[in-house]
Amino acid sequence: MSDLDRNYSSPFGRAAGRVDTAAVDAGLRAYMLRIYNYMAIGLAITGLAALGVYMAAVTGDPAGAAAKIGNAYLTPFGYALFVSPLKWVFMLAPLAMVFVISFGINRLRPATAQMLFWVFSALMGISLSSIFLVYTHTSIVRVFFITAASFGALSLYGYTTKRDMTGMGSFLMMGLFGIIIASLVNIFVASSMLQFVISVIGVLVFAGLTAWDTQRLKNDYIYGYASAGGDIAERAAITGALSLYLNFINLFTLLLQLLGQRD
């Protein structure tokens, strides 16, 4: 904020500069709080959707089960969701929603964009519900809190650091594309060692993206949205929440692969 104070000029002198800086500070806090609130609500929807779908997908009655995965007996709904070709629809639906929100955000009303974000969060929960079939519930909860603590610390660092992290963006994006390509290759190779390497590198990449995105969102407000306000700032808050939400979810799933205890 010191740069903003130095660059601000007013016919009323330094007092006006301090008032303007204080107003931007207050607006920035409200803007970032709105982003974190959106993200937190999205995560809550995802968690509830994942748990609800899992409970509807399994049964304790072997006689009425449509299939069995590991130690879990699946209901017909669970079979359709986890075994039948319909599973690809639920796996790819969140990706489609990301493109809809990201590329259509400027044409959407804030209320519509917000609703799409909630729908995306629910679809992501459906897609993630299968983790309850693979990992013990205790380890899922443990990894979630590890992720929450790590994410909080990384985001706080990105918000408070004086270091310019702009140059990290292209490097982290290259790492992200590398992870995507390696993951696609591993679908066919099915190498446990490659999966371990992907998970470790992925955690580092998304840890960096969490801090980088937080600083980017802060700077975007200071040098752009502070003077824009209204629908523009609201849409920016939703896309910002989406960015941080995706960082959190990816950190969680990658840490679960490293630290989760299989059922």
SS3 string of 150-216?
Answer: HHHHHHHHHHHCCCCCCCHHHHHHHHHHHHHHHHHHHHHHCCHHHHHHHHHHHHHHHHHHHHHHHHH
| pLDDT at residue 27 in the model | 83
| pLDDT at residue 20 in the model | 63
State pTM to two decimals: 0.86
| pLDDT at residue 4 in the model | 39
| pLDDT at residue 83 in the model | 86
| pLDDT at residue 6 in the model | 35
| pLDDT at residue 228 in the model | 63
Percent of the chain exceeding pLDDT 70 equals 90
Which stretches in the chain have pLDDT values below 70?
1-20, 23, 225-229
